C-alpha cells in the first residue's frame, strides 16, 4: 500500500518540521509496512529529514539547471535528496495550464534520471457526465508521450471534480476506472480526490486500489496518521 500526502502550497518550514517528526515517530512506533510519501512545499525540502518515509517534489522543471526563472531543476532537487516527483497533477494541468506535451517532456526527463514518478490522470466533471467511455478516452490522451512501462511509475487516478471538493468518487466509480487502467498496466494505481477518514477504509479495501494520494485531509499529521493506521489493517 502506498499512502501519500500532497501539501500543495500549505505549511511552513516550522510546521513541516514538526509534522515530519511526528510522522517519523508514528511510523517507527507502529512499525508500519505501507510506503509513505509526502510532497511538502519546495521551501521546506532542504531542512526536512524524513525518517521512515520519503519526501518528494510537487513539481520540477525538466532540465539539470539553467536560465529558468522561478523554476526548480534537477540539481536543486537532488541537492535536497529528492528522487520522487509528482507529474501531471490536475492543478498543474488546469490551473497552471501545462500541456500534455510539456508534461510528457517532464516525465521523460525525470524518468531518465530514475526518479519515482507519481503520475496523475483524471477527468473533469463535464467528461464524467458523459459516461465511462468518455472518461477512459479522456484519460487515454493523458498517456500521450508517457512510458507506462517505466519501472518507477506509480499512477494516481484523481478525478478533477473530486479534488478539494469534499466529493469523493464512489468505490464503484474508482473500481471501474482502475480495472480499465489495470488492463494495460503493471504499476501501482492510487486513488486521489477528497480522501478522508470517513471514506478511506472502503477505498483502500478495494482490490483495484494500491493506495491513496491525499491533499486537504493530509494537512494535519494526526489525520494522516489515522489513514496510515487504517491502511495497515488492510495490508
Ligand atoms: P484532496 O486533493 O484530497 O484535497 O481532494 C487530492 C490531490 O490533489 O492530490
Residues of the chain above pLDDT 70, percent: 100
Distance 67 CA to ligand 1 centre (A): 31
Confidence of residue 142 (pLDDT cuts 50, 70, 90): very high
Report, as an integer, the average pLDDT of 124-149. 97
Testing ligand 1's pocket by substitution, the residue of 154, 194, 199 carrying the most ligand atoms inside 8 A of its CB is 194
Whether 175 and 194 have beta carbons less than 8 Å apart is answered as no
* The three grid cell numbers given for residue 51, joined into one nine-digit string: 525518517
Atom of ligand 1 nearest to the CA of 8: 8
CB of 163 closer than 6 A to ligand 1?
Answer: yes
* CA atoms of 135 and 126, how far apart (whole Å): 10
CB of 122 closer than 6 A to ligand 1?
Answer: no
What pLDDT score was predicted for residue 187? 97
Active-site residues: which are they?
Answer: 89, 158
74: three-class secondary structure by DSSP: helix
* CA atoms of 134 and 10, how far apart (whole Å): 33
CB of 158 closer than 6 A to ligand 1?
Answer: yes
- The overall pTM is greater than 0.85: yes
Residue with the smallest CA separation from ligand 1 atom 7 is: 215
Q: How many angstroms separate the most distant Cα atoms in the chain?
A: 48
Residue 81: pLDDT over 80? yes
Report, as an integer, the average pLDDT of 11-29. 96
Confidence of residue 2 (pLDDT cuts 50, 70, 90): very high
Residue 47: pLDDT over 90? no
CB of 215 closer than 6 A to ligand 1?
Answer: yes
**Region of residue 197 (left: phi > 0; alpha: psi -120 to 50; beta: else):** alpha
Residue 155: pLDDT over 80? yes
Whether 128 and 159 have beta carbons less than 8 Å apart is answered as yes
Report, as an integer, the average pLDDT of 60-88. 97
Whether 39 and 213 have beta carbons less than 8 Å apart is answered as no
CB of 216 closer than 6 A to ligand 1?
Answer: yes
Reference 58, options 81, 109, 92, 98; nearest CA is 92
Which residue's entry shows cell 489525520?
A: 223
143: three-class secondary structure by DSSP: coil
What pLDDT score was predicted for residue 48? 79
Average pLDDT of the chain, as a whole number? 96
Confidence of residue 49 (pLDDT cuts 50, 70, 90): confident
Distance 68 CA to ligand 1 centre (A): 28
What pLDDT score was predicted for residue 79? 95
What pLDDT score was predicted for residue 219? 98
pLDDT digits (tens, 9 = 90+) for 89-118: 999 999 999 999 999 999 999 999 999 999
Residue 133: pLDDT over 80? yes
Residue 235: pLDDT over 70? no
| Total length of the chain | 235
* The three grid cell numbers given for residue 167, joined into one nine-digit string: 466529493
Question: DSSP per residue over 171-191, as a string?
Answer: HHHHHHHHHHHHTT--S-EEE
Amino acid at each position: 500500500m502506498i499512502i501519500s500526502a500532497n501539501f500543495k502550497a500549505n505549511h511552513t518550514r516550522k510546521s513541516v518540521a514538526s509534522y515530519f517528526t511526528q510522522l517519523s515517530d508514528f511510523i517507527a512506533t507502529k512499525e508500519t509496512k505501507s510506503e509513505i510519501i509526502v510532497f511538502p512545499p519546495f521551501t521546506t525540502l532542504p531542512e526536512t529529514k524524513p525518517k521512515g518515509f520519503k519526501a518528494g517534489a510537487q513539481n520540477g522543471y525538466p532540465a539539470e539547471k539553467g536560465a529558468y526563472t522561478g523554476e526548480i531543476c534537477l540539481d536543486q532537487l537532488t541537492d535536497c535528496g529528492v528522487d520522487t516527483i509528482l507529474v501531471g497533477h490536475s492543478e498543474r494541468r488546469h490551473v497552471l495550464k501545462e500541456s500534455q506535451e510539456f508534461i510528457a517532456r517532464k516525465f521523460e526527463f525525470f524518468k531518465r534520471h530514475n526518479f519515482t514518478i507519481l503520475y496523475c490522470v483524471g477527468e473533469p466533471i463535464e467528461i464524467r457526465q458523459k459516461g465511462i467511455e468518455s472518461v477512459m478516452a479522456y484519460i487515454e490522451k493523458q498517456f500521450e508521450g508517457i512510458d507506462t512501462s517505466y519501472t518507477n511509475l506509480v499512477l494516481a487516478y484523481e478525478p478533477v471534480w473530486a479534488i478539494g471538493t469534499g466529493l469523493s468518487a464512489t468505490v464503484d466509480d474508482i473500481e471501474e476506472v482502475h480495472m480499465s487502467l489495470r488492463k494495460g498496466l503493471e504499476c501501482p494505481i492510487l486513488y486521489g480526490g477528497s480522501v478522508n477518514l470517513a471514506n478511506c477504509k472502503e477505498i483502500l479495501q478495494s482490490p483495484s486500489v494500491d493506495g491513496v494520494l491525499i491533499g486537504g485531509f493530509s494537512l494535519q499529521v494526526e489525520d494522516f496518521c489515522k489513514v496510515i493506521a487504517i491502511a495497515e489493517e488492510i495490508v
